[in-house]
Structure 1
Amino acid sequence: MNLALKILQESKEKGKYLSIWNYNDDEKFWFGKILNFTEEIVVLQHFTKYGKKDGLLILQICDIKAIDFDDEYTNAMKLVIENSEKLATEDEFKFDFYDNENWKFILLNQLKFKTEIITSIEIENDYFTGFIKDVDEENFVINLVGSLGQDEGNSIYKIEDLKSFRVNDIDNRKRLLLYNSRK
């Protein structure tokens, strides 16, 4: 049995998660665990990036370019799958909105020092995600959090450059879960 088949066998027998990359799609991979396989095809129980089962994928083994396993993404996804119900539940955040041109400043101050909520901010069509650490009349500091919960340090931005906020959405809740697991 070759190495690839051994990895598939281990996933099937021990329920180990893995990521499968196909030749025809360099940008996307499929994450899950192997339910069954032959020398020609593999049946994968697919999971979404939020830890929910998402159907079966039947792939030809000859189309598999690479298999990732026992990596940081796999370890993060195990935690996400175990907590998928919790992720689906949104904690309430009430924005005390005022009809005021300083709404960005007001919202940033409401989010400042809140370690139970991660926020994504849009600046020039890019999103930056993390905890709001400090705010003054012109700028704010955000402690950036990566997609696998890693602390990426602090950055300062101008309030006037802010276009929008995403507060406590499922992607942010996933990052918070992974961030807290690293403490």
Structure 2
Amino acid sequence: LLDQIDTLSGQIGTLTTRIDHLLAQADADGGGVTDETAATTGPSTVERLAEIPGIGRAGAQSILAEIGLAMTQFPTAAHLVSWAKLCPRTVQSGPVTRGGKTGKGNPYLKGALGEAAAVAAKTDTFLGERYRRLVKHRGKLKALVAVARSILVIIWHLLTDPFARFCDFGADYHTSRINTERRMRNHIAQLTAMGYHVTLEPAA
């Protein structure tokens, strides 16, 4: 049994090396940042994607194997999300409107994104906080799909710009920005209803 484990471990190591080589070669052909030039120009595409919470190097390799490095076939992030069948659907029958299933899509891509979303949901990051906010009123499955969709949008932006790096907004993003903007809109609406004309100016 130990010999079999050693054999499998050796095969995994060989395949991992081969995957790294092929991705570095594809990175170079696509004009991205390769492992060979990482010391002077920055990290490779796999390393940049691995910085996203929940993905890691193996997850990045799996995702790139399914969608590729070039995003020319996906003009916008919405095109990629739609192709992956992760966009929300609305089913309407007469006056009744309800949410529909996202569709099957690529099972390997959805599996990798689902695992990444499950890991990211446990982190103290923007994606983790997004999951915790959604799971309260949407349920676990829909919250995970929403996080997976957000991860795919981030990946599209990173692949579109070969020098872009992931930057986490932080777990307090919603409270520090979204809630502030919501209060501001509410105050403006109240003043407008009272007959005032509100003009916003940046702070000095």
TM, length-normalised to structure 1? 0.27
Relative to total residues, which structure has the larger helix share, 1 or 2? 2
Larger radius of gyration: 2
